[in-house]
Amino acid sequence: MTGKPFVATPARTKEILSKYQFTFKKSLGQNFLVDVNILSNIIRHAGIDKSCGAIEVGPGIGALTEQLAIHADKVVAFEIDQRLLPVLEDTLSDYDNVRVIHRDILEADVAAVIKEQFEPEQPVHIVANLPYYITTPILMKLLRENLSISSLTVMIQKEVAERMAAVPSTKSYGSLSIAVQYYTEAKVVMNVPKTVFMPQPNVDSSILRLVMRDKPPVEVNDEDQFFDIVKASFSQRRKTLLNNLTSFWNGRLDKDAISAVLEAAGIDGRRRGESLNMQEFADLANAFTGK
């Protein structure tokens, strides 16, 4: 490390943006953090230390990357915006434990990168300030690929974080809550005001901590059908399970047959999706196996 101020200060960020005449691309959801205290809290909540590898998605100009480089053994960052590659080479020049990969995370073979870049058995954590417009596709890709990672600690839109960590019978609870919690234990660990970003986004953010489960908390016969039925159950929140599932089966199963399956699963068809916990959804999906 040198005596240079950290990237994540308003003055240094402005200096870097000016030096490279960088303009923000709204299409990439670029909002750079300019508060070192927030970054320190992210690192702490993520449990990063020198035994760990870290993967970052969308390093921007390197504010979080720098803090990860200081605290982790090695950092691999995926950056989609080619204009930022020379900026990162500059801002991270003091750190020899960072590898920046110019690739869209949605198209990357993350499992291969983990195998190639980190030691076998080394704990690997994903830590990122995710672009709001594509948060869910990125997280679901990373969760469904069965990667050798211990956790994900991500800064995302507050409302989305609340939905991912929500419990049954709350306004935020929905198919996204179940999809995320099937793979992880989810918890909102802190909220972040919009004032610590440059430029300021329109909404506040939260840090969501996702700890990978060794195995899902429920057993399902067919994962795809399980997620389809969960999604269908929330398709119109004010409708009953029976009505939503009748729309989902679209004539392939009639209402009486669906009622019989609900009864076999021990679930009242007059209930709404938001009242079911994950075990009840698993029972329901399993009861539809072969239908």
Residue 241: predicted pLDDT: 96
Length of the chain: 291
**Closest among 276, 130, 167, 152 to 209, alpha carbons compared:** 152
Q: Which residue has the tokens 């690192």?
A: 43
Fold of 223-287: Helicase, Ruva Protein; domain 3 (1.10.8)
Name the token pair of 274. Answer: 């938001």
Asked whether residue 129 is marked as a ligand-binding residue, the answer is: yes
Q: At what angle do helices 175-183 and 278-287 cross, to 10 degrees?
A: 100
* Residue ranges of domains in the chain: 10-212, 223-287
Residue 28: predicted pLDDT: 60
In 20-78, alpha helices (H): 36-46, 63-71
pTM comes to 0.93
Amino acid letter for position 99: R
Strand partners, 185: 211
Amino acid letter for position 186: A
Asked whether residue 58 is marked as a ligand-binding residue, the answer is: yes
**57-76 confidence digits (pLDDT tens):** 999 999 999 999 999 999 99
Asked whether residue 208 is marked as a ligand-binding residue, the answer is: no
Are 237 and 74 contacting, i.e. CB atoms less than 8 angstroms apart? no
- Tell me how far apart the alpha carbons of residues 21 and 14 are, in angstroms, rounded to a whole number: 10
**Closest among 57, 41, 223 to 126, alpha carbons compared:** 57
The per-residue pLDDT string of the chain (291 residues; one tens digit each, 9 = 90 and over) reads: 456 789 999 999 999 999 988 876 665 667 888 999 999 999 999 999 999 999 999 999 999 999 999 999 999 999 999 999 999 999 999 999 999 999 999 999 999 999 999 999 999 999 999 988 899 999 999 999 999 999 999 999 999 999 999 999 999 999 999 999 999 999 999 999 999 998 888 889 999 999 999 999 999 999 999 999 999 999 998 999 999 999 999 878 889 999 999 999 999 999 999 999 999 999 999 999 877
Superfamily of domain 10-212 in the CATH hierarchy = Vaccinia Virus protein VP39 (3.40.50.150)
Q: Could you tell me the end-to-end alpha-carbon distance of the chain, in angstroms, rounded to an integer?
A: 62
Asked whether residue 145 is marked as a ligand-binding residue, the answer is: no
